[in-house]
Amino acid sequence: MDAVCKKLRIEPSLVGSVRIIRQSLDARKKPQLFKVQTVAVIFCDRNTARRMRAKHKLSPYVFPAYKPAVPGSKPWENPFVVVGSGPAGLFAAYFLAMQGYRPVVFERGADMAERIQDVEAFWEKGILNEESNVLFGLGGAGTFSDGKCTSRSKDPRVHQVLQVFIELGASPDIAYQNKPHIGTDVIRAVISRMKQKIEDMGGKFFFHSPLVGLDVEDGWLKKIHVEGHEPFAVEGLLLCTGHSARDTYAMLALQGIELVEKNFAVGLRIEHPQSLIDQLQWGESSTTLGVGAADYKLTYQDPVYQRGVYSFCMCPGGSVVNASSESGYLCVNGMSYAKRDSGRANSALVITVDVDRLEGKGPLKGLTYQRQLEKKAYELGGGGFAAPIQSVRDFLDNKQGEASPSSSVRPEGQQANLQALFDPATNECFKRALLDFDAKMPGFAGEQAVLVGVETRTSSPVRIVRNESFASVSVRNLYPVGEGAGYAGGIVSAAVDGIKAAEKIMEQYRRY
Ligand SMILES: Cc1cc2nc3c(=O)[nH]c(=O)nc-3n(C[C@H](O)[C@H](O)[C@H](O)COP(=O)(O)OP(=O)(O)OC[C@H]3O[C@@H](n4cnc5c(N)ncnc54)[C@H](O)[C@@H]3O)c2cc1C
């Protein structure tokens, strides 16, 4: 308030309140960092507001307002079912429950406490539970994630998603931070509370309950088949199964639901000491400066093959996680805790995959390619879910090194030549990109840089085709939602898609 009054040269009595709407760090004069805030000032009267606007060239600001859907009039007999409890499914269920639609949620994986045990057993001993892991279970792929809540969308529902996270325990700062981050520890607690709240509002959850089949008559879904349950009659089904439910895609294809292939990206995780990234970005250690661990974003367009290579899902102060979900197939990802204080920085380094150039036919050929890479990664690691790792220097020299480089991946890393994963053209693109990134950030491809294979689950390689009402073009009351449907990417965008899908239901049907 004081700083705003000083800047506007105005008496505090004329200012009602000041609210931060955006905050970022300016590092152009590093190691001197500046906190840059955009604030909304609410003046006590219109005249002052008008005067201040003219004098200081202030822009009017409208606070993002969410208008809930107006309920329709169609009666309903059977429940609205949400399959999958990732961000898309949870937000769809939350918004349906808030308006009295009492959703039933079927989730193939486990509830939070059991899931955490399963994931820990995997990371400690390499024992994979194919139904309860980093990708499957309450909270979906968002649970063991970095919890970055960034979104490029201007949709007011983005604000709504962050508000729900804040109400359920996330820091209020995420409402205005330029790069909001929650961390896996906080997001786990938030998700558990979200589930409890949905139940308190009349929703129901069933775990260890995978959807395995659909009964469709004349273009309408009548019943669903869920393992461990009797055939279940539904009014509408929100399919929020994420992009890792490969058996679910296969089931949908068999049932004649229209799917199309889509481009995606694959690559490797790159890991550095956080101190190196801090030094490069801030010119000083983030701890000394009292700011959060530094991140980066890098892009490269290969002039020979016309393919983009870029950093993706950068996790400052985090760790590389073994995110496998199938026996004999290995993939990695990145996560962090709220404090981002692991001392390690990692990011995916991925290359675009044009599905038209892949071998094979049909909408699932991108999945086949992902699985081929994951099988090779599993074998390169020597089995037992040791992740194949290599120093960047050895990758550039196309040789398997002697001393094992250090990585945060668990259960362990196994020295390998990661060039064995990809075709020569892809390796060439990665090599040129690494050298380009090293020129932009000296040391990026230096002796402390380590690569871990393989990153395949960046986005969905399939789209479940839907119309403007969010219904599948094949079945009128089947609503493909979120990342697995091919209409979202990331926690916030999947959550927004879930809210929009819930609204489509509410606009048609009357409340309970
Ligand atoms: C390790 C990791 C870190 C990540 N970090 C970030 C990040 O920092 N920021 C960000 O924005 N994004 C991040 N992501 C991506 C983000 O988590 C996803 O984009 C998001 O979770 C997608 O949401 P979704 O609800 O569409 O699908 P998912 O989260 O994949 O959820 C799908 C759910 O459906 C369930 N399911 C699947 N099939 C069936 C079935 N047949 N029957 C019943 N249930 C089923 C699954 O068990 C799962 O719980 C990360 C992902 C991972 C793996």
88 CA from centroid of ligand 1 (Å): 8
| Section 300-314 average pLDDT | 97
Q: Which two tokens stand for residue 435?
A: 């050298």
CA distance 317 to 309: 23
pLDDT tens profile 205-214: 999 999 999 9
- Strand partners for 349: 268, 311
Q: Which two tokens stand for residue 440?
A: 């932009």
CB neighbour burial string for 322-340, b if at least 16 within 10 angstroms, e if fewer: bbbbbeebbbbbbbbbbeb
To the nearest 10 degrees (0 to 180), the angle between helices 184-200 and 156-167 is 90
333 CA from centroid of ligand 1 (Å): 12
250 CA from centroid of ligand 1 (Å): 18
pLDDT tens profile 34-88: 999 999 999 999 999 999 999 999 999 988 888 889 999 999 999 999 999 999 9
CA distance 156 to 431: 41
Closest CA to 105 of 80, 77, 88: 80
**Least confident window among 106-120, 144-158, 310-324, 416-430:** 144-158
494 CA from centroid of ligand 1 (Å): 9
Query: In sequence order, which residues have a C-beta less than 8 Å from that of residue 298 and are 6 or more positions away?
Result: 310, 311, 437, 440, 441, 444
Cis (ω within 30 of 0) for the bond into 411?
yes
The answer to whether 501 touches 244, Cβ cutoff 8 Å, is no
* Residue owning the nearest CA to atom 9 of ligand 1: 148
Task: Tell whether the model's pLDDT for residue 512 goes beyond 80.
Answer: no
143 CA from centroid of ligand 1 (Å): 8
Which one of 81, 104, 111, 145 would you pick to mutate in the ligand 1 pocket, going by the greatest count of ligand atoms within 8 A of its CB? 145
473 CA from centroid of ligand 1 (Å): 24
Ligand 1 atom nearest residue 138's Cα: 49
* 440 confidence band (pLDDT: 50, 70, 90): very high
389 CA from centroid of ligand 1 (Å): 25
pLDDT tens profile 87-140: 999 999 999 999 999 999 999 999 999 999 999 999 999 999 999 999 999 999
Ligand 1 atom nearest residue 210's Cα: 42
Ligand 1 pocket by Cβ (under 6 Å): 83-89, 106-109, 134-137, 140-142, 144-148, 210-211, 240-242, 244-245, 248, 313, 321, 323, 333-335, 482-484, 488-492, 494
* Residue owning the nearest CA to atom 3 of ligand 1: 145
77 CA from centroid of ligand 1 (Å): 30
Closest CA to 342 of 392, 413, 438, 410: 410
**Residue 401: what pLDDT?**
83
374 CA from centroid of ligand 1 (Å): 18
**Residue 511: what pLDDT?**
86
Ligand 1 atom nearest residue 90's Cα: 25
Which one of 116, 143, 243, 491 would you pick to mutate in the ligand 1 pocket, going by the greatest count of ligand atoms within 8 A of its CB? 491
Task: Tell whether the model's pLDDT for residue 167 goes beyond 90.
Answer: yes
Residue bearing the bigger pLDDT, 172 or 403: 172
Ligand 1 atom nearest residue 244's Cα: 30
